[in-house]
Amino acid sequence: MGQASPDFGAGRRIALVSVATGCALAAVKIVVGWMAGSTSVVADGFESAGDVVASSIVLFGLVMASMPPDENHPYGHGRLEMVTGLVVGLILAAAGVAISANALRHAINPTGVPAAYAIWPLVGSIAAKTALSTAKFRTGRRIGSAALVADAWNDAVDILSGAVALTAVGLTVWLPDTFLAADKYGGFAVGIIVIFTGLRVVRETSLQLMDTMPDPKLTNRIREVAKGVPGVEGVEKCFARKTGLQYHVDLHLEVDPAISVRESHDIATRVRMHLRERLDFIADVLVHVEPAPSRAARPPRRE
């Protein structure tokens, strides 16, 4: 069985659909919100415009990450995909600050009641973003794309922000005497949601860029597969760092100290090939061979 390749094409297709959808939603919400006099709808429209920028960056990152390794980039170009995820998070946080500040400025002296038709772009946006977010989460987790998952969270925020804006507009339209400023504060709430989501994305992608070890379940899986290769007596160390959509693994194997260097090398090669064939999240493995400690030196097993 050959090594499975990351499905960059699926990620690119979803990113392209996201850019096209985001352009349409942003234009409709900004125009309709302005015509209807709704701060919440306009704020949600500018948030959608930020989505277009974010999805475009994700698309660029996925295209660049699919480039093969070269002399100057022996680990490939996958880290650029993580950087794009980080940039998406920063854009989200900055957009949230701008949206909240603008909405709060209008909330001080609220005037006018938005037209009732302002709700329809929000309803359409919630439906479209629900479909996009579901597809991005599923594909991003399947291919291991930090940027696509970050963009999925971005769409999830759109759903929440759209619901907040819809509630705020509805309160102002149907109960203007009591909730005249609700539309403005709804725009402020949308901005706060966007800020926290952006910071969450920044944190997750930063941890990956800092070579934070993956979930212990993943490294335990690597150990189990390596131990299944004949000649391997144990795995002393197992390190993994994400370089785009896959992991590069550093493995310290324990083998019989009495065998030859060539035999040890052959075992290491079999482990490397076996891991790459069995685990599609592994890009490559660097194997270091060490003599297994004698049975007398090993600590007693705990039953």
pLDDT class for 206, splitting at 50, 70, 90?
A: confident
- Using the predicted structure, report yes or no on whether residue 4 has a pLDDT greater than 60: no
Is the domain spanning 216-291 CATH 3.30.70.1350? The answer is yes
| pLDDT attached to residue 102 | 74
Query: What's the rounded mean pLDDT across residues 36-52?
Result: 76
Any idea where the domains of the chain sit in the sequence?
8-209, 216-291
- Cα–Cα separations (whole angstroms), residue 35 to 30, 40, 115, 277: 9, 13, 8, 58
Higher pLDDT, 26 or 187: 26
- Using the predicted structure, report yes or no on whether residue 74 has a pLDDT greater than 80: no
- Using the predicted structure, report yes or no on whether residue 200 has a pLDDT greater than 90: no
| pLDDT attached to residue 250 | 92
Structural contact between residues 268 and 249, judged by C-beta atoms closer than 8 angstroms: no
pLDDT tens column, 174-191: 877 777 677 777 778 777
| pLDDT attached to residue 301 | 46
CA distance 197 to 199: 5
Query: What's the rounded mean pLDDT across residues 197-209?
Result: 79
Q: Which pTM value belongs to this model? A: 0.57
CATH architecture group of domain 8-209:
Up-down Bundle (1.20)
